[in-house]
């Protein structure tokens, strides 16, 4: 799907109160399923293109519930211990 199509999906669906009908219409226009249009609208797909809604949540160390630092994640990824030993160390 062209970038302009993604942007149209993001803009038009947000503005329209009859979202289900419009999602189906846009899906047919671009040859994708209405669920894909919904995913674009909710930034579950093609979120890197931005839009009026912006990302739904922050991920990684910037998430409000983050328990690990970036360095701890790197240590875990490089660790050769058992899963049980790693879990005991990092909780």
pLDDT tens per residue, range 9-48 = 777 766 665 667 778 888 888 888 888 888 887 777 776 6
CA-CA distance, 23 to 36, in Å (whole number)? 9
Domain ranges of the chain: 3-49, 60-90
pTM: 0.40
56 confidence band (pLDDT: 50, 70, 90): low
Instruction: Please indicate whether residue 49 or residue 91 has the higher confidence score (pLDDT).
Output: 91
Q: How far is CA 54 from the centre of its chain?
A: 10
81 confidence band (pLDDT: 50, 70, 90): confident
DSSP secondary structure letters along the chain: --HHHHHHHHHHHHH-S-HHHHHHHHHHHHT--HHHHHHHHTTSSSGGG--SS--S---GGGSTT--S-HHHHHHHHH--S-HHHHHHHH-
**Residue 79: CA atoms inside 13 Å, Cβ hemisphere, count?**
17
């Amino acid at each position: 799907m062209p970038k302009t199509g993604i942007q149209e999906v993001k803009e038009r669906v947000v503005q329209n109160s009859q979202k289900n009908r419009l999602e189906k219409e846009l899906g047919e226009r671009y040859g994708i399923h209405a669920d894909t249009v919904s995913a674009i609208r909710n930034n579950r797909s093609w979120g890197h293109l931005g839009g009026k809604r912006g990302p739904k949540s922050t991920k990684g160390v910037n998430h409000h519930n983050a328990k690990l630092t970036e360095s701890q994640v790197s240590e875990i990824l490089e660790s050769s211990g058992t899963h049980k030993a790693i879990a005991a160390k990092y909780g």
